[in-house]
Amino acid sequence: MKAPFRYYDFQKDISGCGVFGVINTKRELIPGDMPIKAMCTMHDRGNGLGGGFAAYGIYPDMADKYAFHIMCDTQDGLDRAEEIIKSFFTVHESQPIPTKRTPVIKNPPIVWRYFLTPKQGVDRPQWRSLEEQDFVVNVIMEINSKTPAFVFSSGRNMGAFKGIGFPEDIAEFFRLDEYSAYIWTGHNRFPTNTPGQWHGAHPFTLLDWSVVHNGEISSYGINMRYLCEHDYKCTLMTDTEVVAYELDMLVRKHGLSLQMASKVFAPPFWDEIDRMPEAEKKVYETLRMVYGSALLNGPFAILVSDGTCLMGLNDRIKLRPLIVAEHGNNVYMSSEESSIREVDRVLDNVWAPKAGEPVIVKLEE
């Protein structure tokens, strides 16, 4: 095949995804303007085919209810999802997610939110014996795989907002400047392997988990099949989905610490394990053997939250950038230092974390 004429003059789309996160360790609320502004600085890391934010602490009056954010192209599909929801949950509130018509967001799906508590004694034998959160996860998997609707956020006192557009456009569409939160993450997407879709934008969430990701999970196939064995169905057609579900499985279900889960995602190299003291060596060997299928191969810089902390993690050879900075009670994590400087001119401390070493910042009790 011949290269197109004067191919070297073509405009290149020089992007590579951008992530930004901020946590206020004293739970002081940070207005949405801040993460939006930070993402704007990294506008060119995306190409308009995906943007999104996760915000924690936004539904204080409904803090004990599961906040389901659902998107669907058709009313009929949404009705089918609602039917499932109503049979397994008590609906406390049901409302459209507030949006604003903007010229750049074209053909948005219907976006709806429900505040829910699980019903007791529902009529599915295999769901009757489950813990509450497993029950919720199962309903989400059911909706995502059996109806045209997608549950794109399901935690308590938190919400994800995402779609096709630049992050600033998505923020305007969902009116995120009207929200305040003590943890925010944001994402600017440059889709590489899958098309830009509303449900395929970041963050990916499950229960209180949310994850935004710059990079690509080359081990998606292995991870996806491994999760499938544990009743997590990947339906959103974007690699990052596996990270959210693996976190839920490793930390919530298997009881690993977030630190430990990071070492499953980005394990030390075998030669590094060989040099460790005996006890430590045993731990890391065991982790690699038990959770080999959960290892995330390929480049990544991810920001994760479960509502109590913000974690930043790189793949073990740092194929994507990540910068951490502190100022007072705020800790920032971002693909680019400039985005942090844009929203906070006085930083106490700035550093680039080591590859494969998680930076975990917890809320104060």
Does 33 bind another protein (CB under 8 A)? Our answer is no
Q: Is residue 309 among the annotated active site residues? A: no
Secondary structure of residue 132 in the 3-state scheme = helix
Our finding on whether 271 is near another protein (CB under 8 A) is yes
C-alpha to C-alpha distance for 326 and 20, rounded to whole angstroms = 13
43/175 with CB nearer another protein? 43
Does 44 sit near another protein (CB under 8 A)?
Answer: yes
Q: What is the DSSP string of 166-214?
A: -HHHHHHHTTGGG-EESEEEEEE---SSS---TTTSSPEEETTEEEEEE
Classify the phi-psi angles of 43: left when phi > 0, otherwise alpha if psi is within -120 to 50, otherwise beta: alpha
Q: What is the DSSP letter of 9?
A: G
Instruction: Report the residue number, 172 or 342, with the smaller CB distance to another protein.
Output: 342
Give the x/- contact pattern for another protein in 277-306, rule: CB under 8 A. ------------------------------
Phi, psi of 63 (to 5 degrees): -60, -20
Asked if 148 interacts with another protein (CB under 8 A), we say no
From residue 17, alpha-carbon distances to 95, 176, 215, 342 in Å are 32, 20, 7, 18
Is residue 273 a contact point for another protein (CB under 8 A)? no
Least Å distance, CB 352 to another protein, is 5
CA distance 188 to 167: 6
| Separation in Å, CA 81 to CA 12, 111, 159 | 41, 12, 18
| Minimum distance from residue 301 beta carbon to another protein (Å) | 11
Give the nearer residue to another protein in terms of CB position, either 172 or 336: 336
Measured CA to CA in angstroms, residue 223 lies from 141, 257, 273, 324, 326 at distances of 16, 19, 23, 28, 34
Using CB under 8 A as the binding criterion, the count of chain residues that bind another protein stands at: 22
Nearest approach, Cβ of 272 to another protein (angstroms)?
Answer: 8
Shortest gap between Cβ of 323 and another protein (angstroms)? 8
Say whether residue 338 binds another protein (CB under 8 A).
yes
Identify which range of 22-30, 159-167, 185-193, 335-343 contacts another protein by CB under 8 A. Answer: 335-343
Binding of another protein at residue 352 (CB under 8 A)? Answer: yes
**Is residue 187 part of the contact set for another protein (CB under 8 A)?**
no
With CA atoms as reference, report the closest residue to 211 among 248, 156, 174.
Answer: 248
Does the protein bind another protein through residue 208 (CB under 8 A)? no
- Give 177 or 344: the residue with its C-beta nearer to another protein: 344
DSSP code of 254?
T
Active site residues per annotation = 17
Q: Rule CB under 8 A: which residues touch another protein?
A: 41-42, 44, 269, 271, 275, 317-318, 321, 323, 336-339, 341-342, 349-352, 354-355
